[in-house]
Structure formats: structure tokens, C-alpha cells
Amino acid sequence: MAKILVTGGTGYIGSHTVVELQQAGYEVVIIDNLSNSNINVLDGIERISGIRPDFIEGDVTDIETLRKLFKAHPGIKGIINFAASKAVNESVQKPLLYYRNNLVSLLNLLELMPEFGVEGIVFSSSCTVYGEPDRNPIDESAPIKVATSPYGNTKQISEEIITDTIYSGAPIKSIILRYFNPVGAHPSAEIGELPLGVPQNLIPYLTQTAAGIRKELTVFGNDYNTPDGSCIRDFIDVTDLAKAHVIAMRRMLDNPDGDKLEIFNLGTGRGLSVLELIESFERATGVKVPHKIGPRREGDIEKIWAEPSKANNVLGWKAEMDIDDTMRNAWRWQQKIAAKTK
Ligand code: UD1
């Protein structure tokens, strides 16, 4: 089976995707600078799949590091590019860091792919490219809106860079995946999300509150134009999401005459409000989450959920996990990391 380079492979979505690739028979090489992940993630991966992936500690923004990697690991056929910064607020404070990390890394990979015979790249994009949608569910033909943060802008620019490169006739293929809100953890509780410091995203804040690490969760706004007034998102289980990457990779590598560039939404097709998600967590785990209503968070989108039909019909992929099971997995993972850090 083909050899795949996973950049950012010790991160949250990266680690889950490495496991799924290995279980599908792919050989995996990871490069990660460990800026937002831990080397112990490799142990978790190995405990699930029985295989320790090759690991290079390094930065994808350094083209010489990458060149060395491709020379030392000949025969890499595909890349999945997770190595990127992703905190919306931080990107507003440190735009240059975000443009450098997220764009230079992509430029380096695209530049080296033809040189080393790498055939395809799966790119992690985000539903953030749609901004506040005019209608929901939203499909891939919806207009791209002006980005509201440097982070969001890096995703838009990255999509343009990939598109221009493919249209220029470069001998590579790409599948761009627009994620909605990835949540949960591997059912084995061996890997999951490891936020550094105070979590910015809903689920890690929620599970840390349930664990007593945070006093209470603030729901950012209950005066939105939604049934219960809180924002609506499409929460997609991280293992479901990871599986889509394996299918996308197979599609690129196994169909030499297939499309050179494709874009897919990865979501469940179901919108859930922040308050409904809290309810789901409490129902699934029996644990109460102390929470209060606070003011709106600046820059938040009111409601967005995916029309995933294209991924369902063309990729043959469908989100399968029940949200309560996803919440149980998130909780088991939180309990495990809390036990470790005590
Ligand atoms: C954001 C980005 C998305 C990015 C993702 C991961 C935008 C518009 N969205 O998603 O592109 O991929 O982060 O970093 O840029 N909430 C609370 N209390 C909290 C935390 C969150 O009520 O303590 C609410 C938010 O107001 C929001 C929902 O929960 O309505 C989800 O928030 P979050 O998990 O931060 O993800 P997004 O903002 O949707």
C-alpha cells in the first residue's frame, strides 16, 4: 500500500486520521513540530493500530527539512496537510504567524510534490470560508464570503493557491475538505483533543467544566435568531471525519484519470444548538455541566450546517456516529487526561 505523509499528524484530527490510514493498510510518515501536540500521541496511535508511525519532528515551513524528509522516505504518494494554526482569536493578534505557518507550509509542499513524485494532497479547509451563510444547509456551490479573521483568510487563500497550482497544469491532484465542527475522541480513549491552556472551543471547555477544571461554561449569547437563541453548528465526530480522509486519499491515488481538484463539505447535515449540545452531553454521560448565558462572542456565526450530499454520493462517505456516543467518547477522553495530569 502507498506511503502517506501526514503533516500535523500528532494533532487532534491528524492523529485520528493516522490511525484510520494505518487500519486501511497505508504506511504513514508524520511530520509535526509539536507546537500544539505531544510526542506521547505516538504511543496512543500505536496502542490502537499496533503500528508506530515514522515520525519526524520538524517544521513544514522549512523547505530544507521537507526536502530531507522526502529523500529519507522515498515513495511517498500522498500528503494530508493538517499542519496549521487554528485559533481564530490568536490569528487576529498574530496575523503574520498565521499567514506564515499556514501558507508557507502549503507552498513548500506544493513545490516539492512534483519533484518527489507525490501524486495528491488532501487539504484541511473549513466551513469558515462560507462566512454567515445566506441559507442552510450550505452546499459547496455557496459563495465564499470575505473572511472575518486571518485564520479564515488563510483557508481561503490556501484553497486559491491549490486551485491555481492545479490549473497551471502541475502534475498533482488535490481534494479540499471543508470541515464543519469536529468534536469527540477515539472510542478507545487513547487519543483525543489536547488543548493547551484555557480552551477556546466549545467541547474542550465543556468537558473541562464537567471535570471541575473550569467553574462554569459560558454560552455565548441566547438572543440569536434560532429556536433556543443559541448558535447552531454542525458537530461532526472526529473519527467519522478521519475516515473521510482515507476515502479521499484512495480516490485521488486509485483513479489516475479522475478529477484533478475536488471540494467536499464534511458535516452531518444536522444543525445542533450550543444548548442542545450541552443537553446531549448531560444525557449521554449523566454529568451536569454548570453553565450560564453570557454576551455574544465577537465574530461568531449565528447558524451554519452542512449539505453533505456531495460527500455522501460522490465520496461514498457518511457521518455515522450518534452525537450522544460522540459526547461519551469526549468525556472518557477528558477523564483519562484529567487522571494523567493529577
Ligand atoms: C471556529 C472557527 C472554525 C475553526 C474552529 C476550530 C470561525 C467562524 N469558526 O469554529 O473555522 O475551524 O473554530 O478552531 O472562524 N461557545 C460557547 N462557549 C464557549 C465556547 C464556544 O458558547 O466557551 C459557542 C460559540 O459561540 C459557538 C459554538 O460554541 O457558537 C462553537 O464554538 P467553537 O467551538 O469555538 O467553534 P466555531 O467558532 O464554530
Q: What would the DSSP string read from start to end of 85-129?
A: ---HHHHHH-HHHHHIIIIIHHHHHHHHHHHTT--EEEEEEEGGG
- Residue 213, sorted as left (phi over 0), alpha (psi -120 to 50) or beta, turns out to be alpha
151 is catalytic: yes
Give me the phi and psi of 40, to 5 degrees please: -65, -15
* Atom 21 (ligand 1) nearest CA: 202
7 SS3 class: strand
For the chain, where are the alpha helices, taking DSSP H only? 12-23, 41-49, 63-72, 88-93, 95-99, 105-115, 150-167, 202-210, 238-254, 274-285, 309-310, 323-341
Ligand 1 touching residue 126 (CB < 6 A): yes
* Atom 12 (ligand 1) nearest CA: 126
* Atom 22 (ligand 1) nearest CA: 219
Query: What single letter denotes the amino acid at residue 6?
Result: V
Ligand 1 touching residue 271 (CB < 6 A): no
pLDDT computed for residue 196 by the predictor? 84
Which atom of ligand 1 sits closest to the CA of residue 220?
A: 22
pLDDT computed for residue 338 by the predictor? 75
Ligand 1 touching residue 233 (CB < 6 A): yes
pLDDT computed for residue 340 by the predictor? 65
How many angstroms separate the CA atoms of 30 and 14, rounded? Answer: 9
Q: How far is the CA of 124 from the centre of ligand 1 (A)?
A: 17
Closest CA to 187 of 24, 25, 332, 338: 332
pLDDT computed for residue 342 by the predictor? 46
pLDDT along the chain (342 residues), means of 10: 96 98 98 96 98 98 98 98 94 97 98 98 97 96 95 98 98 98 98 92 97 97 98 98 98 95 98 98 98 95 97 98 98 88 51
Q: Do residues 226 and 305 touch, judged by C-beta distance below 8 A?
A: no
Q: Which of 12, 98, 151, 179 is catalytic?
A: 151
* Atom 6 (ligand 1) nearest CA: 86
pLDDT computed for residue 40 by the predictor? 96
